[in-house]
Amino acid sequence: MTGVKFENGAIEVDARVIGGPLGIAPEEVQAALREGTITSLCERGIEEDVGSYRLSFFTAHKRLRIIVDESGALIRRSTVSSPDRPLASSFRQPGI
């Protein structure tokens, strides 16, 4: 299980799934999302990617990308980190 659920048109991601790779305690994730310290993007697959979702989570220095199918099963996960300086704005764009 990936910690990603789809219910009533909403996507729910367990805070541990987001916090661990971003280096943020799970209990701090929700507040960071509200404050904008963590931002997110959800993209629905089209054409050959129909049935998949790409969920991206960003901090100033890290990007977590999780690709799941419609059941929430993990297809791929990646993290990009830039500890010495903020990530370039291109890393906060769809499709990168």
Q: Is residue 90 part of a domain?
A: no
Backbone torsion region of residue 58, taken as left when φ is above 0, otherwise alpha when ψ lies between -120 and 50, otherwise beta: beta
Residue 70 in any domain: the answer is yes
Render pLDDT for 29-72 as a digit per residue (tens, 0 to 9).
999 999 999 999 999 999 999 999 999 999 989 999 999 999 99
Query: What's the predicted TM-score (pTM) here?
Result: 0.84
User: Considering its fold, how many domains does the chain have in total?
Assistant: 1
Contacts 24+ apart (CB under 8 A), 29-32: 32/59
Give the pLDDT of residue 9.
86
Domain that holds residue 44: 4-82
